[in-house]
Structure 1
Amino acid sequence: MSIWSRISEAVAALAKGESLATVFDRLRTPPERSVAFTIAVIALSAKMAKADGLVKRSEVAAFREVFHIPPEAEAGAARVFNLARQDVAGYEEYARRIRSMFGDRTDVLCDLMEGLFHIAMADGRYHPNEDAFLAKVAEIFELGDTRFRALRTRYVPEADPDPYSVLGVAPDTPLDDIRKAWRGLVRDSHPDRMIARGLPEEAVKMSEKRLVAINRAWEEISGRSAA
């Protein structure tokens, strides 16, 4: 059964009156976790769309870059989006449910944050309300300021383009330790690793942008040391 077929089943439960929170609670283990990841991105994207006032075509297109939605599944994805947007529960409650669902899997939560950053930047503008939204979600996910800054630096052009922030290290970190951090990030960005931690295959496209930023940061830092 494809991921979108399983998502359709979740949508059917929503149509019967179950809340998204209840559906999340059932999607705690593989393979259902990949369904939960996709629904989480859709749901938080819907909440984030309210942050800057409206849903833009570019944001919808950006979601399609992260997740390839077959024509027969478009209605289901749209239903999840609209249910989340209309739900009286605030985005903080969604984020807490997702945090509880993935437990201490901060790697998966970082993957989810990357998807949200990708969608937030789809229109070429990083709205202050989007920044506040994403900062709060990262806080609820317990990712820490360092990881949040690293994500923002990778995706937001006007953010401080500090290569150390991209790799999540301090400027005074020994070069050998920075190299280890860089290699660890490269390993974690491998598609096989991303799929192993529960991401649907469609979402591994995010690793391409991540790797570009990570490798560029390492090249800049190692180049400074060699100069």
Structure 2
Amino acid sequence: MSIWGKFIVSAAGFALGGPIGALIGVVAGHAIDKIKTKQKLPKESALKQIGFTVGVIVLSAKMAKADGKVTKEEIRAFQNKISVPENEIKNVARLWDQAKKTTDGFEVYAQQICQLLGKNSSVLEELLNLLIIIAKADGKITKSEILYLKQVSIIFGFSIEKFERIYSSNLGKISDPYQILGVTRNTPIVEIKNKWKLLASNHHPDKLIAQGLPIDFIEKSTNRLQEINNAWDIIKSQQ
């Protein structure tokens, strides 16, 4: 069963609680009531996938609202990144519409998602990448959108340096392979290699899935792993 099949089902069998659980109840309370007694508790990984999926929908909707209006380009960017089956479009649309009314309260959603997925995790980095893609969809990123992104990043446990790297990478401003790996030209090659191995491991699809990134999102996630491997290849060739 894909994450979209679990989207409503798991919420019925597992009390997510908090703002995420409440919002799911708003859009699918009737469905939850029908299957409440039929479902078993999902595994921890399934719960994390629910958290990521709802996080993408809620935080991206509020991201699009950060500059005061939601544009067609921002909605299109969301749709291009999130493959939603036809039978789930209405449920996702209800959730999006509920969330986009205001940016107020985005912090509590980000905090709960962070608790589910683990602070400073690679999956949260993928989520932040998606938010930045939506922010730049209309051709510009406003100060209010940058502030929103920074606040979400802080809640996710990212340092200012890490946020700047993720942000600049999405804008195509980073070409230095050393900066991509978070090292300097003076860093010993052994340390650089170890850093590459760690980053490549953390961003491997299998590990991302285990940490909560739904399979549905893997193909449409960022090319961070390729970026990491390309950076190492360049550095290695220069030695």
Q: What is the TM-score of this pair, normalised by structure 2?
A: 0.76
Matches within 5 A, 1:139-218: 139-157=154-172, 159=173, 161-207=175-221, 209-218=223-232
Judge conservation of contact 2:63–2:134 (CA < 8 Å) in 1.
no
2:78 to 63, 70, 87: 63
Match of 1:2 in 2: 2
What residue identity is the alignment partner of 1:95?
A
CA RMSD of aligned residues (A): 2.8
Match of 1:13 in 2: 25
**Using the alignment, how far apart are the partners of 1:182 and 1:53 within structure 2?**
40
**Using the alignment, how far apart are the partners of 1:182 and 1:42 within structure 2?**
31
**Using the alignment, how far apart are the partners of 1:207 and 1:181 within structure 2?**
22
- Give the direction of change, closer, same or farther, for the CA distance of 1:80–1:217 in structure 2 (3 Å limit): same
Larger radius of gyration: 2
> How far did 1:81 drift?
1.0
Aligned residues: 216
**Using the alignment, how far apart are the partners of 2:143 and 2:43 within structure 1?**
33
**Using the alignment, how far apart are the partners of 2:137 and 2:103 within structure 1?**
26
Moved more, 43-52 or 159-168: 159-168
Match of 2:118 in 1: 103
Unaligned runs of 5+ residues in structure 2 are: 12-22, 30-40
Judge conservation of contact 1:167–1:181 (CA < 8 Å) in 2.
yes
> Deviations along 1:16-36, whole A, 9 cap, x unmatched?
78xxxxxxxx99932122111
Moved more, 130-139 or 90-99: 90-99
Secondary structure of the residue that 2:45 maps to in structure 1? coil
Taking every aligned residue pair, what percent have the same amino acid on both sides?
35
What residue identity is the alignment partner of 2:110?
A
Secondary structure of the residue that 1:86 maps to in structure 2? coil
Moved more, 2-11 or 109-118: 2-11
> How far did 1:73 drift?
0.7
Q: What is the TM-score of this pair, normalised by structure 1?
A: 0.80
Matches within 5 A, 1:59-138: 59-86=74-101, 89-104=104-119, 106-138=121-153
Unaligned runs of 5+ residues in structure 1 are: 18-25
